[in-house]
Amino acid sequence: MRKTLLAALALILTGLVPGTFVAQQKQGDSLVKYGDPREGETTDRSDRFTFARVRFGPPTMPGDWLGDHGLMWSHDYPDAGLHLMKILSEVSKTRVTVDTNEHIFSFDDPNLCKYPLAYLCEVGYMHLTDQEAHGMREYLLRGGFLIVDDFRQAWQWRNFTENVKRALPEYEIKELDVTHPIFNCFFSIKTLDVRTPYDRGKPIFYGLPDKKGRLMMIINFNNDVSDWWQWSNDPFQPIQDTNDSYRFGVNYIMYAMTH
> How high is the pLDDT of residue 129?
97
Residue 26 has pLDDT above 50, yes or no: no
User: 44 falls in which pLDDT band (50, 70, 90)?
Assistant: low
Beta bridge partners of 203: none
Give the rounded distance of the alpha carbon of 147 from its chain centre: 5
- What's the whole-number mean pLDDT along residues 71-87? 94
> How high is the pLDDT of residue 150?
93
Number of H helices, E strands in the chain: 6, 9
The rounded percent of the chain whose pLDDT value lies above 90 is 66
Residue 223 has pLDDT above 90, yes or no: yes
> How high is the pLDDT of residue 9?
45
> How high is the pLDDT of residue 45?
62
> How high is the pLDDT of residue 102?
86
User: 93 falls in which pLDDT band (50, 70, 90)?
Assistant: very high
Provide the domain limits for residue 159.
2-258
pLDDT digit string (tens) for 126-152? Answer: 999 999 999 999 999 999 999 999 999
> How high is the pLDDT of residue 11?
40
37 and 22 in contact (C-beta within 8 Å)? yes
Beta bridge partners of 171: none
Residue 76 has pLDDT above 90, yes or no: yes
Residue 39 has pLDDT above 60, yes or no: no
Residues 6 or more apart whose Cβ sits within 8 Å of residue 114? 41
67 and 75 in contact (C-beta within 8 Å)? yes
Buried b vs exposed e over 45-69: b needs ≥16 C-beta within 10 Å?
A: beeebbbbbbbbbeebeeebbbbee
Number of domains in the chain: 1
The whole-angstrom separation of Cα 152 and Cα 91 is 31
Residue 4 has pLDDT above 80, yes or no: no
Query: Does 176 or 58 have the greater pLDDT score?
Result: 176
pLDDT digit string (tens) for 151-205? Answer: 999 999 999 999 999 999 999 999 999 999 999 999 999 999 999 887 667 899 9
Q: What is the CATH number of the domain that holds 113?
A: 3.40.50.12140
Query: Does 222 or 10 have the greater pLDDT score?
Result: 222
Residue 233 has pLDDT above 80, yes or no: yes
State the burial class of residue 238 (Cβ atoms within 10 Å of its Cβ: 0-12, 13-18, 19+): exposed
